[in-house]
């Protein structure tokens, strides 16, 4: 029955197209001239009249622009041949109607642009006809039949996707605005755009009046269509939110995020203000920052063009432009974003959002030539003024390599809610997280880290438990394992106390706290240090982790010294996992494999780990050596008698195979109060399956030892296989750079200034 309806609908549309087209084209030129005499010119949001002229002049002269244009033209020409389908909404993401409406808005925006640049009316006709089909459908729609969302849309199962639609479609409308007849504009605005904007704002204050990436999309959607229609009432709502919303504090969305927070400003400007730190870090993490960047920047561009007096790119000291630099720095060697919090792996600066971000940041942010090299890698540009600017910069040979270096991004609106620190050297990248909760997409993983080499994960952050838009897996939405596994502390490379997650895994608690940054020092090639404290994850327990990237000239690669100091009022069990990827080669400790793996625990993520094998440590060092991508790695850890060394694997209680069956190595200290977990992680060798030579297959660390540890200082002695002994000392209470320290270790005085030192002992 539904199929039949759809088919009838299709026939109607085709009939409409044929009928209307034949009598209409002639009138359009006249009409366009009339429209020009109205107050606001069109296009004006992203494409501008002036920009379009400049683009037309450059056609055929700028390879990257021409290539981008040809790709878009080929795509849209194929779509026009396929015909228009505006199905009755039915599916979750991944399903047909969802994917079709998603495709429609992407196609509309591109067709609008082609009309402007190529001056071929077939594109305007196509945009008009599809918009008219939506104008016919929209008034008939109830809320979407799928009930999963706290804010159901009409075209899609959530207002978020409806907002996506409007952000793109507004641009298409802007492109054909002048070409349309006045009565056509009236139909579109009255039957489609205004009710659409009202529904996602007044109709869904719980969605629109928040500080959240959802609301950003909502605000921008309303703002974009307001700018096209020159509708100041809607624009005010977009910028400053709804004046009244009747929302009660404490309400939560279906991801568990707060909807209403006391004293919270709302609207687009508040959404710029709040989640971005002064360094341009977006508190949800880079995956969502990427997602949010598109509406932030596209609306900023539109505002800059239509309302230049707002000086949006200077807002909060240019934070929107800084955010683009931050995002690029939050990616690995291949441009893939570090999957902090709810991040899906594989998302990268090759995404369409980052093409937008890079081009806009280049054009409006002072023409940084390093951005051109990213645009070259993306190998496409926006078909607008910003894209033209990038294409010309590349043509003129201005591109310079984007130098990613060690960098710390502060979190929080004022930059005082912890940070994410990235230490880089050679092919190694260490990502250390000591930030705020990250709103509803945050994970409970204070002081966690991940390690990359050459763009590959070596010690992984699991990321989210979701297959975005893959319908087979929970409709492409968050899987229940995202809460039961991916967000839990034990899923991360940090300490878990007594098998409970940080802040008891409760968002209400976690969102009140953040870690404290303590040291970030990256000036010295021999030793770079990031250090931070977490005092609230477990009441009564203090966590202080110091990670150092140390480059001993005897060896090719630097190694990572990891010092996790735990002090507690009570005796506890502490687990520190290393989610290594690859195949275990050898350990220096004995372990017993279980005949049949059993879940490692019952709750808080432990129920998803299979315990595969157990070793019991002696006083000294435990070594764990593995192979990944034909590289040899080792973890060397200081152990005490009775520490448990657990080999485990993700996948227990995962009846639908929603989780990846990947391994971990866990160091467990039981019934302990104050402890220091000290490890060295090395990338020390490689293997060629072609020559079958194994080079430096073994750890280069002979011994590590905690030679001093009290409230004030922790000192580690490191001895390499070549016999070199070094001492690393960190001050636990004083991080002033100029402070002088003196400490007696094994009857020898050690003197230094600043919060840490690395000394050669022989």
State the catalytic residues: 288, 441
Give yes or no for residue 185 binding a copy of itself (CB under 8 A): no
Say whether residue 682 binds a copy of itself (CB under 8 A).
no
3-class SS of residue 165 = helix
If one asks whether residue 599 binds a copy of itself (CB under 8 A), the answer comes out as yes
- Please give the Cα distance from 468 to 478 (Å, whole number): 8
Q: How many CB atoms lie within 10 A of CB 509?
A: 16
Q: Does 18 bind a copy of itself (CB under 8 A)?
A: no
How far lies 318's CA from each of 310, 313, 321, 410, in Å?
13, 5, 6, 16
For residue 469, the minimal CB distance to a copy of itself (Å) is 5
How far CA 275 is from CA of 52, 142, 215, 411, 415, in Å, comes to 34, 33, 12, 8, 10
Is cis: bond before 43, omega within 30 of 0? yes
Contact region with a copy of itself (CB under 8 A), list: 214-222, 249-257, 590-598, 719-727: 590-598
Looking at 26, 655, 723, 744, which residue binds a copy of itself (CB under 8 A)?
A: 655
Residue 734 burial (C-beta neighbours within 10 Å; 0-12, 13-18, 19+):
exposed
Which of 71, 261, 468, 745 is in the footprint of a copy of itself by CB under 8 A? 468
8 A C-beta contact, residue 274 and residue 265: yes
Q: Is 654 one of the binding residues for a copy of itself (CB under 8 A)?
A: yes
DSSP designation for 500: B
Residue pair 124/179 in contact by the 8 Å Cβ criterion: yes
Dihedral angle sign, alpha carbons of residues 310, 313, 319, 324? positive
Kindly indicate which of the ranges 315-323, 418-426, 571-579, 660-668 contains the residues binding a copy of itself, using the contact rule CB under 8 A: 660-668
Distances in whole angstroms, Cα of residue 299 to Cα of each of 39, 170, 358, 597: 21, 11, 15, 53
Interface pick for a copy of itself out of 10, 100, 345, 741 (rule CB under 8 A): 345
Q: Does 74 bind a copy of itself (CB under 8 A)?
A: no
Q: In this chain, which of 183, 309, 317, 596 binds a copy of itself, going by CB under 8 A?
A: 596
Of 690, 738, 747, 760, the one binding a copy of itself (CB under 8 A) is 690
Rank residues 198 and 376 by Cβ distance to a copy of itself and give the closer one. Answer: 376
Q: Note whether 646 binds a copy of itself by CB under 8 A.
A: no
Judged by DSSP in three states, 684 sits in strand
Cα 438 to chain centroid distance, Å, stands at: 11
List binders of a copy of itself among 96-115 (CB under 8 A): 99
Position 9 contacts a copy of itself (CB under 8 A): no
Among 170, 201, 283, 351, binds a copy of itself (CB under 8 A): 351
**CA 668, CA 236: separation in Å to the nearest integer?**
55
Is residue 139 part of the contact set for a copy of itself (CB under 8 A)?
Answer: no
3-class DSSP state of 329: helix
CB contact at 8 A, 63 and 188: no
- Residue 104 backbone dihedrals phi, psi, to 5 degrees: -55, -45
Shortest Å, Cβ 349 to a copy of itself? 9
Q: Tell whether residue 683 is a contact of a copy of itself (CB under 8 A).
A: no
CB of 96 to a copy of itself, least distance (A): 11
393 binds a copy of itself (CB under 8 A): no
CB atoms within 10 A of CB 470: 13
Residue linked to tokens 């993401």: 93
- Stretch touching a copy of itself by CB under 8 A, among 348-356, 402-410, 506-514, 518-526: 348-356
By the rule CB under 8 A, 722 interacts with a copy of itself: no
Task: Please state, in angstroms and rounded to a whole number, the distance separating the CA atoms of residues 154 and 332.
Answer: 38
- Residue 472 engages a copy of itself in binding (rule: CB under 8 A): yes
What is the C-alpha to C-alpha distance for residues 113 and 123, in angstroms, rounded to an integer? 9
Which string of DSSP letters, residue by residue, matches 351-384? Answer: SHHHHHHHHHHHHHTT--HHHHHHHHHHT---SS
Question: Which of 346, 366, 539, 540 touches a copy of itself (CB under 8 A)?
Answer: 346
4: contact with a copy of itself by CB under 8 A:
no
| Stretch in the footprint of a copy of itself (CB under 8 A) among 60-68, 215-223, 299-307, 469-477 | 469-477
Residue 3 within binding range of a copy of itself, rule CB under 8 A: no
Which one of the spans 160-168, 302-310, 379-387, 644-652 is the region binding a copy of itself (CB under 8 A)? 644-652
Stretch touching a copy of itself by CB under 8 A, among 123-131, 294-302, 503-511, 650-658: 650-658
What's the closest the beta carbon of residue 535 comes to a copy of itself, in angstroms? 37
694 binds a copy of itself (CB under 8 A): yes
Residue 630, interface with a copy of itself (CB under 8 A)?
yes
625 binds a copy of itself (CB under 8 A): yes
Q: Which of 610, 677, 713, 756 binds a copy of itself (CB under 8 A)?
A: 610
Residue 82, interface with a copy of itself (CB under 8 A)? no
HSE-up (13 A, CA, CB side) for residue 640: 11
Of 115-123, 414-422, 583-591, 752-760: span binding a copy of itself (CB under 8 A): 583-591
Q: Which helix (H) or strand (E) holds 232?
A: helix 232-240
DSSP H or E segment with residue 480? helix 480-481
Question: Which residues in this chain contact a copy of itself in the complex, by CB under 8 A?
Answer: 94, 99, 344-348, 350-352, 467-473, 476, 583-586, 592-593, 595-599, 610, 613, 625, 627, 630, 647, 649, 652-655, 657, 660-661, 663, 687, 689-694, 697-698
């Amino acid at each position: 029955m539904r199929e039949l309806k759809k088919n009838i609908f299709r026939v109607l549309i085709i009939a409409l197209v044929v009928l209307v087209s034949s009598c209409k084209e002639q009138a359009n030129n006249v009409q366009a001239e009339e429209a020009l005499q109205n107050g606001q010119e069109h296009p004006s949001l992203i494409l501008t009249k002036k920009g379009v002229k400049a683009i037309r002049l450059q056609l055929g002269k700028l390879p990257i622009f021409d290539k981008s244009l040809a790709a878009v033209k080929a795509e849209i020409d194929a779509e026009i041949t396929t015909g228009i389908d505006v199905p009755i909404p039915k599916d979750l993401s991944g399903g047909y109607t969802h994917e079709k409406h998603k495709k429609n808005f992407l196609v509309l925006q591109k067709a609008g642009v082609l009309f402007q640049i190529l001056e071929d009316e077939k594109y305007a006709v196509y945009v008009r006809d599809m918009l008219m089909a939506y104008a016919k459908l929209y008034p008939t729609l109830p809320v979407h039949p799928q009930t999963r969302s706290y804010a159901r849309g009409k075209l899609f199962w959530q207002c978020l996707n409806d907002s996506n639609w409007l952000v793109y479609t507004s641009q298409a409308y802007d492109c054909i605005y002048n070409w349309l007849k006045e009565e056509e504009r009236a139909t579109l605005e009255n039957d489609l755009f205004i009710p659409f904007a009202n529904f996602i704002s007044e109709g869904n204050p719980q969605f629109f009046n928040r500080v959240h990436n959802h609301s950003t999309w909502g605000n921008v959607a309303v703002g974009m269509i307001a700018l096209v229609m020159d509708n100041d009432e809607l624009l005010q709502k977009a910028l400053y939110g709804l004046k009244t919303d009747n929302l009660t504090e404490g309400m939560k969305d279906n991801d568990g995020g707060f909807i209403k927070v006391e004293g919270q400003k709302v609207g687009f400007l508040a959404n710029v203000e709040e989640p971005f730190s002064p360094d341009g870090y977006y508190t949800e993490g880079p995956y969502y920052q990427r997602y949010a960047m598109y509406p932030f920047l596209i609306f900023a561009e539109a505002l800059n063009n239509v309302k230049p007096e707002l000086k949006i790119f200077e807002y909060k000291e240019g934070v929107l432009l800084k955010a683009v630099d931050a995002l690029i720095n939050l990616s690995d060697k291949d441009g893939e974003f570090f999957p902090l919090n709810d991040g899906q792996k594989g998302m990268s600066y090759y995404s369409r959002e980052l093409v937008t971000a890079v081009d806009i940041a280049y054009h409006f942010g002072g023409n940084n030539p390093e951005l051109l090299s990213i645009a070259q890698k993306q190998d496409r540009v926006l078909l607008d003024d910003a894209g033209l600017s990038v294409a010309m910069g590349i043509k003129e040979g201005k591109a310079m390599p984007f130098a990613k270096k060690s960098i710390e991004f502060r979190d929080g609106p004022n930059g005082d809610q912890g940070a994410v620190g990235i230490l880089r050297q050679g092919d190694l990248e260490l990502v250390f997280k000591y930030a705020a909760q990250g709103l509803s997409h945050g994970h409970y993983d204070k002081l966690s880290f991940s390690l990359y080499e050459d763009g590959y994960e070596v010690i992984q952050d699991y990321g989210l438990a979701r297959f975005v838009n893959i319908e087979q897996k929970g409709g492409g939405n968050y899987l229940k394992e995202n809460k039961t596994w991916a967000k839990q502390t034990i899923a991360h490379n940090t300490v878990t106390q007594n098998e409970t997650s940080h802040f008891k895994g409760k968002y209400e608690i976690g969102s009140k706290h953040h870690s404290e940054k303590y040291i970030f020092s990256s000036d010295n090639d021999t030793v770079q240090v990031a250090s931070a404290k977490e005092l609230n994850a477990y009441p009564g327990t203090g966590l202080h982790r110091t990670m150092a990237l140390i480059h001993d000239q005897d060896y090719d690669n630097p190694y990572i010294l990891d010092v996790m100091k735990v002090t507690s009022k009570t005796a506890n069990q502490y687990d520190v996992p290393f989610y290594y990827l690859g195949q275990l080669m050898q350990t220096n400790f004995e372990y017993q494999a279980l005949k049949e793996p059993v879940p490692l625990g019952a709750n808080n993520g432990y129920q998803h780990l299979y315990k595969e094998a157990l070793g019991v440590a002696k006083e000294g060092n435990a070594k764990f050596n593995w192979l990944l991508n034909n590289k040899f790695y080792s973890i060397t850890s200081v152990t005490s008698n009775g520490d448990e060394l657990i080999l485990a694997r993700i996948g227990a209680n995962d009846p639908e195979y929603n989780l990846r069956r990947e391994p971990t190595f866990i160091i467990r200290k039981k019934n302990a109060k104050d402890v220091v977990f000290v490890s060295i992680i090395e990338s020390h060798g490689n293997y060629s399956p072609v020559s079958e030579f194994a080079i430096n297959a073994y750890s280069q660390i002979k011994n590590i030892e905690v030679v001093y540890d009290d409230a004030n200082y922790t000192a580690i002695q490191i001895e390499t296989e070549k016999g070199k002994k070094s001492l690393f000392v960190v001050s636990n209470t004083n991080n002033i750079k100029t402070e002088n320290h003196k400490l007696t270790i094994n009857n020898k005085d050690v003197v230094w200034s600043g919060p840490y030192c690395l000394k050669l002992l022989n």
